[in-house]
Amino acid sequence: MHHHRKDSDAATRAQFDELLKTFDFFKHHMAGYPSNQAFDYSPLFPALQYSINNIGDPFHDSNYTANTHEMERQVIYFFAELMRLPHNQRWGYVTNGGTEGNLFGMYVGRETIPNAITYFSEDVHYSIFKIVKLLQLKPVIIKSQPHGEMDYNDLLKRLKEHSKRPALIMANIGTTMKGAVDDVVKIREALHEAKIKQHYIHADCALSGMILPFVEHPQPYGFDNGFDSCAISGHKMIGSPIPCGIALTRKPFINKIAQSIEYVEVLDTTIMGSRNAFTPLMLWYAIQKKGVSGFRDQVAKMLETAEYTVQAFQKHNIKSWRNKNSITCVFPRPHHDITRKWNIASQGNLSHIITVSHVTKEIVDQVIQDILQDKGESIELT
C-alpha cells in the first residue's frame, strides 16, 4: 500500500512537471494574445494559505472578514482616476475578466434604461453575442470601417430608424482583432442628431483602457467623454497568473440594482457572489510597484515595439499596419504551423501580434524569420 502511494506521488509530480514545461514553452512563444507574461507576485504567496473571499460589494461591510476589500477599493480608486470618474460617483469591483465586466456594464445599462435597443459594431468582442442572449437585449449591428472602427454614418442611420427607443451603446475602446477605438464623442453627436435623449454608453476598454491614459494624444475616452460604465482587463497589460478585470460605473446607477443579503451581511451588487480575493491583491501590488509613471514607461515601450513590428514586416514586403495608439500589429495570416508555434490569433485572412511587455523585438524577428522561411525566402534580419 505504501509503495502504491510513492508511485502515485511520483506520477503526480511527473504530470505536474510536464504541465510546467508546457507553460514555460508557451511563455516564450506567446505573440498573439494580450496576456503580459512579465510579472512576479511571489511576495503575495503567503496569502494563498487562507480561504479568502471578496463576496459582496467592496464598498460595503461583509460578515466574511477574510477579504481584500480594502485593497480592492484602492484598485478601483486608481482606475476611476484613470477613467476620470468623479470622486463622488466612483463605484466598481474586480471581475473575472473582460466578459464579466461587459456583462455587468450592459446589465446596469439595461436596468437604467429599460426597453432600449442595443447598438455595437461588427468588430465587437465575441462575448457580446452571449451577453445579448443572457440579458435578452434587442441588438442592432453597425457596420465597421475597414480598420475596425465603427461606421458613424451607419450608426446615425440606425439610430434614426429607432429614435423612439432609448439607446444602449457598446463602444469598443480597442477592438479584439484590430485594436480600433470607437470615438465616443462622435457616438454622442450621433445620439444628439438622432434626438435620442435616453442613452447609456458601455465601453469595452479591455486592452486600450490601460494604454490611452498614458499616451500624449489619446482618442476620446473616460467618463467625462460619455462613458456610463467600462470594463478593463487586468491580466492583459498589467499581467496576472489568474484572469481578472475591473468594472467601473457611476454610483447612482448601482442603487438601482443593489440588494441587501442578510445571510452574509453584504450588499449584492456584483455579478458573481463569491469573488476572487487574490486578484485584487495582485492588481493592488502591481499598482503599488509601478504607479502611473511605471505604467507610462511600460506603455511607451510597448508602443515602440509595435512600431518596430509594423516596420520590420514592411521592410520584408509583408503588408502590416496598426491603429493609432495601438499595440495590435495586423498582417496577412501565415501558415498554421507558425500561428500555432507563436500563439498568434487570427480571423479570416488576418493575424495579429500584440506587443505586450514580454513580446520583445527578438520575438518579433523570430516570427518574421519563420514566415520568410515558410515562403522560401531566407533573408538576414538586421
**Residue 248: CATH number of its domain:** 3.40.640.10
Query: What was the pLDDT predicted at 221?
Result: 98
Instruction: Assess if residue 11 is contained within a domain.
Output: no
* Neighbouring-strand partners of residue 261: 266
Q: How far apart are CA 64 and CA 55, in angstroms?
A: 8
Query: What was the pLDDT predicted at 262?
Result: 64
Counted residue by residue, the chain has a size of 382
Could you say which DSSP state residue 225 is in?
A: G
- 219-224, Cβ contacts within 8 angstroms, sequence gap of 24 or more: 219/173, 219/181, 219/183, 219/324, 219/325, 220/183, 220/184, 220/185, 221/83, 221/173, 221/181, 221/184, 222/83, 222/84, 222/85, 223/83, 223/84, 223/85, 223/86, 223/89, 223/248, 223/250, 224/84
Query: What was the pLDDT predicted at 232?
Result: 96
Using 50 as the pLDDT threshold, list the residues of the chain that sit under it. Answer: 379, 381-382
The domain boundary, picked from 261, 288, 315, lies at 288
Instruction: Assess if residue 239 is contained within a domain.
Output: yes
Calculate the alpha carbon distances from 247 to 137, 280, 299 in Å.
Answer: 20, 12, 21
Same domain (yes/no): 159, 194: yes
Instruction: Assess if residue 153 is contained within a domain.
Output: yes
Same domain (yes/no): 63, 74: yes
Contacts of 59 (CB under 8 A, 6+ apart): 69, 73, 91, 267
The domain boundary, picked from 268, 288, 308, lies at 288
Same domain (yes/no): 75, 202: yes
Instruction: Assess if residue 379 is contained within a domain.
Output: no
* Neighbouring-strand partners of residue 126: none
Same domain (yes/no): 306, 239: no
**Model confidence pLDDT, tens digit, residues 211-249:** 999 999 999 999 999 999 999 998 888 889 999 999 999
C-alpha cell read off for 345: 490569433
What backbone phi and psi angles, to 5 degrees, belong to 126? -60, -25
What are the DSSP calls for 18-79, one per residue?
A: HHHHHHHHHHHT--SS--------GGGGGGGGS-----S-TTS--S--S--HHHHHHHHHHH
The domain boundary, picked from 273, 288, 303, lies at 288
Query: What was the pLDDT predicted at 263?
Result: 64
CB-based burial, 120-146: b 16+ in 10 Å, e otherwise: bbebbbebbeebbeeeebebbbbebbe
Range of the domain at 344: 20-41+291-371
Is 260 part of the annotated catalytic residue set? no
Domain tally for the chain? 2
Cβ neighbours around 336 below 10 Å, total: 10
Calculate the alpha carbon distances from 19 to 9, 25, 39, 45, 219 in Å.
Answer: 15, 10, 19, 20, 41
Helix (H) or strand (E) run with residue 13 in it: helix 2-28
Same domain (yes/no): 36, 103: no
Same domain (yes/no): 118, 263: yes
Q: How far apart are CA 29 and CA 157, in angstroms?
A: 44
Could you say which DSSP state residue 238 is in?
A: I
Same domain (yes/no): 234, 128: yes
Instruction: Assess if residue 9 is contained within a domain.
Output: no
Instruction: Assess if residue 13 is contained within a domain.
Output: no
Q: How far apart are CA 262 and CA 341, in angstroms?
A: 51
Give the CATH number for residue 357: 3.90.1150.10
Q: How far apart are CA 281 and CA 237, in angstroms?
A: 16
Using DSSP, state whether 321 is helix, strand or coil: strand
Instruction: Assess if residue 10 is contained within a domain.
Output: no
CB-based burial, 2-20: b 16+ in 10 Å, e otherwise: eeeeeeeeeeeeeeeeeee
Same domain (yes/no): 206, 185: yes
Q: How far apart are CA 172 and CA 13, in angstroms?
A: 44
Same domain (yes/no): 301, 166: no
Same domain (yes/no): 236, 296: no
What are the DSSP calls for 350-374, one per residue?
A: EEEEE--TT--HHHHHHHHHHHHHH
Q: Which residue has the cell 463605484?
A: 91
Q: How far apart are CA 373 and CA 315, in angstroms?
A: 15
Instruction: Assess if residue 169 is contained within a domain.
Output: yes
The one catalytic residue among 35, 326, 351, 357: 326
Same domain (yes/no): 199, 298: no
* Neighbouring-strand partners of residue 247: 93, 231
Same domain (yes/no): 29, 82: no
Contact 337, 231 (CB under 8 A): no
Contact 323, 379 (CB under 8 A): no
